[in-house]
Amino acid sequence: MVETLMACPVCENTTVELFATASDKEYFTSTQEYRYARCPRCTAVYLDSPPADQLAEIYPPNYYSYGGIADSTTITERIKAWLDRRMLRKLLSRVPGEKLRVLDVGGGAGWLLTTVREACDRVAETHEVDLQSEAADAAERAGHVYHRMPIEEFTSSERFDLILMMSIIEHVPDPRAVLGSMRDLLSDNGLLLVKTPNTSTVDCRWFRHRNWGGFHCPRHFVLFTAAGLAELGRECGLEVVESTYTQGAPQWALSVMSLLQDRGWIKVTAQRPAYRHPVYEPLTALFAGIDFLRARWAPTAQMEVVFRRSTQGKVADR
């Protein structure tokens, strides 16, 4: 007998379909097999019964954003940092003001906020929202204001000129509530940048039943298409300024590494998670190049959507 899948967390549709099953082959925080469902109405792909009450277990101390890969001095990471500075400089040029306030959500030790300050000398105040005490120490040493709490609990009387949600919207169980709260935190001319995996892409189709890296299982709770994310933003009182596809090399690399693990060709463990394995770096370099080339004519594994507050206001809550 097939168990009933939970309703879609984006649109509450109950007529959904099983999309895939996956397990944690990156950090081995659980031996459980997880189910992903797809909603045909809003196109969301989501984790059935996400372990939102087990964050300390599914995000181990050696999780990559707590200092590991972000502090890397590899060629791939140096190139990524250069591209990030260029992208942020262009983005901030659209925001008026002499003293800008920036909020980063889920950025760990605040390495991206440091890049923001390097990209624009008008940035006067930087805030980080994340969960780990280890990340808090590093962020505060770097001069950022750290708020140790889930984003769902964060409030502020201040408004932000730029909010960064880089690979975070997929980690929350209720993306509608989070996007709505981000709208309320934006200044009148502020921008919200959301970077997240794209399910309407060839790597998802190829590896859907082979532990696709975009699942980041079980840490990605809700995944989107570009159209689905834009519509959710509209319903939350946001409008799209720009939507682009970008390289999703980590998803490709993790997908291939899962396949190699299944065949017994490599071994990944909790002590040496996937991003620390020797094959991870060359695979990300290879697929970053491939994605940059094909981004001009095909949807890639990651997308970046820039939002601003809509002049039409919010659509009525469901």
CA neighbor of 291 nearest in space, from 257, 251, 259: 251
Q: Which helix (H) or strand (E) holds 257?
A: helix 249-262
Q: Show pLDDT as tens, one digit a residue, over the chain (318 residues).
A: 346 899 999 999 999 999 999 999 999 999 999 999 999 999 999 999 999 999 889 999 888 876 544 444 556 666 667 778 888 999 999 999 999 999 999 888 888 999 999 999 999 999 999 987 778 888 899 999 999 998 989 999 999 999 999 999 999 999 999 999 999 999 999 999 999 999 999 999 999 999 999 999 999 999 999 999 999 999 999 999 999 998 899 999 999 999 999 999 999 999 999 999 999 999 998 998 898 888 888 899 999 999 999 987 666 555
Q: Which helix (H) or strand (E) holds 119?
A: helix 111-119
Q: What angle do CA 300, 245, 233 make, to 5 degrees?
A: 120
Asked if residues 150 and 56 have their Cβ atoms less than 8 Å apart, the reply is: no
Nearby residues of 75 by Cβ (< 8 Å), 6 or more positions away: 285
Structure tokens at 68: 């590991």
Helix (H, G, I), strand (E, B) or coil at 144: coil
CA distance 149 to 133: 10
Give me the domains of the chain, ranges plus CATH numbers: 54-309 (3.40.50.150)
